Amino acid sequence: MTYVVVESCIKCKYMDCIEVCPVDCFYEGANMLVIHPDECIDCGVCEPECPVEAIKPDTEPGLEKYLSLNADFAKLWPNITAKKEPPADAKAWDDVPGKLEQHFSPDPAPAIRRKGCGSLLIPGLTRARTRGWRPPSPFMVSATEP
């Protein structure tokens, strides 16, 4: 069993679930999140956190297309490990029917440009991972240290 994100998340993207996930198995698209089914440990802590009830166990009938959607887009979209602000109009989209057919975007979340920084940051990747930086060895000793 795994959990899947369903169409209620589209254009809402509240992200309360991200803060409680112990394995960081959420991936961010332009207007919704998905759960990577191979990374999810089926703990269920994310399900009650979603204010629009967009997270369901895949054992519920009729969720096969969402399991496939989650699995496919988790391979394409960036991993998200920190909660962000939801879209400004999220509340207006809470109970809108037919969002999957009419409003789903296959695009990944947009890259973030930091103020005063010329480089793009991909959500879920740290600067250290994007530039190949490694922490200094604990055996290195500075000449200025006593």
Task: For residues 17 and 104, give the distance between their C-alpha atoms in angstroms, rounded to a whole number.
Answer: 20
Any bridge partners for residue 121, and if so which?
112
pTM recorded for the entire structure: 0.76
From 2-6, 88-92, 111-115, the region with the lowest mean pLDDT:
111-115
Mention every residue, 6+ apart, whose C-beta is less than 8 A from residue 76.
106, 108
Answer whether residue 93 is part of any domain.
Answer: no
Collapsing DSSP to helix, strand or coil, 4 comes out as strand
Answer whether residue 18 is part of any domain.
Answer: yes
Task: For residues 96 and 125, give the distance between their C-alpha atoms in angstroms, rounded to a whole number.
Answer: 33
Q: How confident is the model at residue 138 (pLDDT cuts 50, 70, 90)?
A: low
Task: Give the dihedral sign, CA 117/121/126/129.
Answer: negative
CB 120 within 8 A of CB 111: yes
Q: What's the number of domains the chain is made of?
A: 1
From 17-26, 83-92, 133-142, the region with the lowest mean pLDDT:
133-142
Answer whether residue 9 is part of any domain.
Answer: yes
Answer whether residue 97 is part of any domain.
Answer: no
pLDDT digits (tens, 9 = 90+) for 14-63: 999 999 999 999 999 999 999 999 999 999 999 999 999 999 999 999 99
CATH number at residue 14: 3.30.70.20
Answer whether residue 96 is part of any domain.
Answer: no
Structural domain harbouring 7? 1-87+107-146
Using the structure block, give the residue that is written with the tokens 């399900």.
47
CB 6 within 8 A of CB 67: no
Q: How many CB atoms lie within 10 A of CB 53?
A: 12
From the list 106, 41, 43, the residue with the least C-alpha distance to 76 is 106
Answer whether residue 27 is part of any domain.
Answer: yes
